[in-house]
Amino acid sequence: MLLVYTADLHGNIAGYRQLLELAAQRNAQAVIVGGDLLPPDIKIATAIQNQRTFIETALRPLLMEFHTAQPEIAVYLLPGNDDWAAAIAALDDLDQEGLAYPLHQRVFALTDDLWLAGYACVPLTPFRIKDYERHDGGDLPSYSFAMAYTSAGGQPEKASVATMLRQPTIAEDLEALARRSNPARTIYVSHAPPHDTGLDLMRSKHAGSRSLRAFIEQHQPLLTLHGHIHEAPQVSRRYAERLGQTWCVNPGHDRQVFYAVTFDTDDLAGTLWHTVYGSIGSIQ
């Protein structure tokens, strides 16, 4: 099954258009965006409405155009930690219209024995939006959560550490997801990359999820797709690597250049290809 994947478009409609054009050119069967779908806004008062407006006035018309031209290509959208849950709720309308499938904590059958599952949450960060952040085990980070907000109620509300810790951990969420399909034949789209790999490297620091890495090592899924750490492939010189038998991929992100990968699920090692770095092993 030929798939096209990217992450961290952050409301760049030109990037969405390039992604859909690539899928059509490659005769892909599905398009996946793995987190941080919507434009950022530093103003709390306007952020949710601006993200909702992007979905309605920019993303929806593009997906309607694409669906008309390529009705056989499915589109799957996973939010990320820069997206407000109250805005992401607007994706349900796209789902009802058959334009795109929201992926967070959902599992889809791609074929009789191949599944696609999504998980948006990342380990706790210093940033203010906490809708898609969860505790990753161990001690809490040392930075302040004084400006933490969630929006599950429809509007931004201050979130305390106690509130955040009442949420399931990343490990708990992933185990619940694993019970819904055969992990060995599932592609997991997780906005966070696994810890201590070339896919989570920020300069000299690894910022991925320890729980996710343990999950991959235990369950050995077919493939995992990631984002979140934009610069990782530039720093590590790798956009794909293996943890045991599992291929893990983070295409990275660049504001000036479109980053995406294509691959055939029947031959991952032989078909993984990056729009900038080429095939596996060709990055220098």
pLDDT at 120 over 90: yes
> pLDDT, tens digit, for every residue of 250-280?
999 999 999 999 999 999 999 999 999 999 8
Assigned domain for 26 exists: yes
Sheet containing 74-78: give its strands across.
Answer: 101-102, 74-78, 30-34, 2-6, 261-264, 273-274, 278-279
Assigned domain for 55 exists: yes
Output the pLDDT for position 205.
93
Assigned domain for 105 exists: yes
Contact 230, 202 (CB under 8 A): no
Q: 92 falls in which pLDDT band (50, 70, 90)?
A: very high
Assigned domain for 242 exists: yes
How far apart CA 92 and CA 61 sit, in angstroms, is 15
CATH assignment of the domain containing 215: 3.60.21.10
Output the pLDDT for position 282.
63
Q: 283 falls in which pLDDT band (50, 70, 90)?
A: low
Count of domains in the chain?
1
Residues of the chain with pLDDT > 70, as a percent, come to 99
Q: 281 falls in which pLDDT band (50, 70, 90)?
A: low
Domain of 51, in residue numbers:
2-279
pLDDT at 231 over 60: yes
Say which DSSP state 40 is in. -
Assigned domain for 284 exists: no
Q: What is the pTM of this model?
A: 0.97
The pLDDT of 215-220, averaged and rounded, is: 98
Assigned domain for 107 exists: yes
Say which DSSP state 14 is in. H
Count Cβ atoms within 10 A of the Cβ of residue 283 and give its class: 0-12 exposed, 13-18 middle, 19 or more buried.
middle
Assigned domain for 228 exists: yes
How far apart CA 32 and CA 279 sit, in angstroms, is 19
Assigned domain for 125 exists: yes
> pLDDT, tens digit, for every residue of 123-181?
999 999 999 999 999 988 888 898 999 998 999 999 999 989 999 999 999 999 999 99
How far apart CA 80 and CA 77 sit, in angstroms, is 10
Helix (H) / strand (E) element for 234: namely helix 232-236
Backbone angles phi, psi at 274, to 5 degrees: -110, 140
